[in-house]
Structure formats: structure tokens, C-alpha cells
Structure 1
Amino acid sequence: MAIRINKYLSEAGFCSRRGADRLIEEGKVTINGKVPEMGTKVEEGDQVEVEGQRIKKSIKEKNIYLAFNKPIGIVCTTDRRVEPNNIIDFINYPKRIFPIGRLDKPSEGLIFLTNDGEIVNKILRARNNHEKEYIVRLNRPINGDFIQRMGNGVEILDTITKNCFVKQLGPKKFKIILTQGLNRQIRRMCESLGYRVKSLKRVRIMNIKLDVPSGQYRELNKEELLELNELLEKSSKTFD
């Protein structure tokens, strides 16, 4: 059965579909020696390569799902040439995996890594409203209507952020639960209201809570995966 090249690469555990699209646009992917167009389908027996590396889709390969506590200073990229402090070299997992989404370099906390390209698309698609919870510490005491304004939406990046749950935890600390993932969203929201983020930690993604020390990871257990899949079943279906 023929499948689109971006889906082939994601199911092979090489990268997400979004990452595959970028590689295709950059001309780094070939099918039988030829650079394909976006949407080209892979037939049984076709030879797929990324920058000369043969990519084989293994139907029997076991899916890997890791919960990792990313330390400050580690970069969520799979490109080892770009950044020496990249997440893949830091974890040094024996099989090919890639992060689902990202946490910026100064941030820490929970991030998933997997070889399952399908789950990446379901979790990252913003309209699916998957919760991500963060603990944030600011540079100065919270005052006025900061909490209310954060929860009601802040203008950043030429848009208004979605309404979200925000709760003050201390003089300079608050909890926020987002269902969207704009670039450096929390930092930009705080800066827009006159504050600067001193520390930012993600402590939950959907039903998975952060429960491992900084710099360590664990596999998701069967119960967590069952609940995660139940939540994802309610999501929009991924496109072929």
C-alpha cells in the first residue's frame, strides 16, 4: 500500500511529519534517487534516503515513549551538528527517537520523546486542546490584575492567546495551564505585562506528570499509555 513520503518517514521513526516536510522542501529526501515533490507516495520496494542515508520502515519495530526531565541548557533539536548540547546526545538512547514539541534552552521540565511519528501530530496539533502545565517564577512580585490578564489572553505575535487557567502560588510564582504552544508563549505573555521570567518548568503534559529527577527519563507505563490514547482518540484525526 502506497503512503505519502512524510508519513513514511514518521512511521519509520526518523522524524515527525512536520520535520519530514521540512526535509522534503530542502531537497534532502530522495525516492529511488530522485527528489520527490511534497505529497509523493512511497510504493512497496522503493528506496528512500535522507541525505544519502537509507531509511527503512519497520512494521514490527516497537514504539518507544519516554518522559524526560529536561535540564536548563539542553536544546530540543535532533540536529547534532547545530548544537552540542542537544537533547539526543544528552539522553544517548540506543535507538532513534525525537522530541514531541520543545522546551526552549533556558526552560526545564517534562518533554516526551518517541519513535512514533503518528502520536507527534496528534499531540502537537493546537486545535486538539491538550493541556500542558507549567510553574513559573518572575523577576518581581505579582501585583494588580496580572493573574486575571494572563488568564484572559494576552496580545503577542499578532494574536491574542487563548483563555487559560492561571493560579498564583507565591509572591513571584504562579501556575499556568496552556492548550496552545506559541513560540516562547509564557515568556512573551509575561514580558507583554511588564514582567520577566526567571524560571520556567513544565510539570505535566496531558495525563503525564513530571516525576523523575532532572536529566533523567523513564518509559511511559501501560496505564499511562492507555489513558493517553483515550485522550488522543478524542482528537482530530491526522491527515494521510
Structure 2
Amino acid sequence: MTEPVRLSKRLAEQLPCSRREAELYIEGGWVRVDGAVVEAPGARVLPAQQVVLAPGARPEEAPPVTLILHKPPGYEAGLGAAAGDVRGSRSQGAPEALTLVGPDTLRKEGGPPPRVLQRHFRQLECFTPLPTEASGLVVYTQDRRMARKLAEDIETLEQECIVEVAGEIAPGGLQKLCHGLSVNGRPLPPIKVSWQSERRLRFALKGIRPGQVGAMCEAVGLNVVALRRIRIGRVPLAKLPEGHWRYLQPWERF
């Protein structure tokens, strides 16, 4: 036989094992063809090519993943209500932030290195939108349970943002930011706002609406220059560099 065959068929005959087990080995990144990992069961291999199963390989479904991205300004992330913005508008034609997610931009945390699979970059959805002009923490997930939790709880999860401002704050403006303002006729609940530096405010608030932070700042004489989200619930952005991402760890909870 000199014709190429499907990798899953070749592996199933070589081990031997069932075709489904062979597919799981391959999709799990456990199989190398001539020294290179191949994750497509339908890949064609020639009889002369070397097919090797990694030691410790397990024929198991790879669990869905959730990713944390530090989105730079100028990228779109999500389509729904956002965490606040610089101007309250969306940029047309901006690249999707998901294009930044790949093996080269992975930030490895302490402990054993994660097994990065090509399937981790497919069918990712964003349930924590962030406007084009803003930067900071964005969550992408394949996990339906995580997606449902984020969609249901996003209104009650506290989000923390660092906001760079210009202008002079009105007398009593900080107190008004904390409580006493209305946006679009809707009185705002108490919010935690404090100065981080001469031109930076820290906001910690729930149920945030598109343009809310900008409208709040304008109401006290300030203009938003930049906004960076640094926390959602109990998950912080921490030291994740801009344009990089990491896996959400099993013990982390929003």
C-alpha cells in the first residue's frame, strides 16, 4: 500500500484501538507524525511516515477552556452591553480581539506548562464585552456552563476599572461619583470611586452600562481619556501583559 490513509485509521490499526479512541488521542495532541504534533484525525499519512503515540496518552475528550485576554485599545471584544467606554461609541472596521489569541501570545503561569491544543482556539465566545477604545480584561470561553454563568451574573459581578481623566473635577465631584448621579434618567446605586493618582480614578461597580463611566465623569467636569478594566468579580487582570492571554485556572471563580 502506497496510498495515504486517514491518521485515525492508521493509529487504530497500529495500536490497536477503536477508531473513536484513535480520534481522541489525536484531538488531544498526543500523536506525532514524523516528529510533529498533528491534531486532525482526518489528516492523510503515507505508510513510510512515522506515527508515534506520546507516553501517558489518554483517549479522553479534551475539556472546554476559558481564556483571559488583556485586550489593547483598538480591538473589538463582544457585542452586548459593555463595561463603559471613552466616547460611548463603537469603531467601525476594528479588528476582533480574538485574533490576538494564539500559542505565541500565551502567558504561562507558575507550575507545569499547559497543554496547548488547536481546538482551544475554536468556538470561543465573549460574554464580557469591552469597547474598542478601552483596554483590559476580557473573557472568552468554550464552556457552556461558564457562558451561562457569565451571561446570567454579569449584572451582579463587580467590575473594577482604572480611568484616566482630563479636566478639573467639580467641587464635591468625587462624592457625587460615589453616589448621587443619574444616567439617562436612571439613578445610579452607590459606587466605589477613589483617586489612584492625580489623573487616574478607580471605579468598582456593578450593572454597568455602555457609556456610563464617560457620562458620570462628564457630569462632574471630567473627560475620559482612557479606560482599563482590571478585574471582573474575583478574577484580576494582575500582571498579564497587554495583547497576551492565559488559561483560567480550575480553582478560579468569578
TM-score with structure 1 setting the length:
0.61
* % identical equivalent positions: 21
1:159 equivalent to 2:160? Answer: no
Q: Which has the higher helix share?
A: 1
What is the rounded CA distance, in whole Å, between the counterparts of 2:66 and 2:165 in structure 1?
32
**Cα deviation, residue 132, structure 1:** 0.6
Q: Is residue 133–residue 176 contact of structure 1 (8 Å, CA) maintained in 2?
A: yes
Secondary structure, aligned partner of 1:183: coil
1:200 equivalent to 2:227? Answer: yes
What is the rounded CA distance, in whole Å, between the counterparts of 1:127 and 1:86 in structure 2?
21
> What is the correspondence of 1:75-224 to structure 2 with a 5 Å cutoff?
75-77=76-78, 83-91=93-101, 94-125=121-152, 129-210=156-237, 211-224=239-252
Write the deviation string for residues 97-121 of structure 1: whole angstroms up to 9, x where unpaired. 0112211111000111101244334
Query: Using a 3 Å threshold, how does the CA distance of structure 1 residues 176 and 186 change in structure 2: closer, same or farther?
Result: same
Question: What is the one-letter code of the residue matched to 1:96?
Answer: Q
**Cα deviation, residue 74, structure 1:** 0.3
Query: Using a 3 Å threshold, how does the CA distance of structure 1 residues 127 and 107 change in structure 2: closer, same or farther?
Result: closer
Query: Using a 3 Å threshold, how does the CA distance of structure 1 residues 125 and 63 change in structure 2: closer, same or farther?
Result: same
What is the rounded CA distance, in whole Å, between the counterparts of 1:127 and 1:219 in structure 2?
20
Q: Is residue 67–residue 217 contact of structure 1 (8 Å, CA) maintained in 2?
A: yes
Q: Is residue 178–residue 191 contact of structure 2 (8 Å, CA) maintained in 1?
A: yes
Q: Is residue 168–residue 221 contact of structure 2 (8 Å, CA) maintained in 1?
A: no
5+ residue gaps, structure 1, are 1-59, 229-240
Secondary structure, aligned partner of 1:169: strand
Q: Is residue 70–residue 109 contact of structure 1 (8 Å, CA) maintained in 2?
A: yes
5+ residue gaps, structure 2, are 1-60, 80-91, 103-119
Query: Using a 3 Å threshold, how does the CA distance of structure 1 residues 125 and 190 change in structure 2: closer, same or farther?
Result: farther
What is the rounded CA distance, in whole Å, between the counterparts of 2:132 and 2:189 in structure 1?
24
What is the rounded CA distance, in whole Å, between the counterparts of 1:153 and 1:220 in structure 2?
37
Question: What is the one-letter code of the residue matched to 2:98?
Answer: I
Residue 75 of structure 2: aligned partner: 74
Q: Is residue 72–residue 134 contact of structure 2 (8 Å, CA) maintained in 1?
A: yes
RMSD: 2.3
TM-score with structure 2 setting the length:
0.58
Q: Is residue 67–residue 218 contact of structure 1 (8 Å, CA) maintained in 2?
A: yes
What is the rounded CA distance, in whole Å, between the counterparts of 1:130 and 1:144 in structure 2?
30
Q: Is residue 162–residue 230 contact of structure 2 (8 Å, CA) maintained in 1?
A: yes
Question: Which of the two has higher C-alpha Rg?
Answer: 2
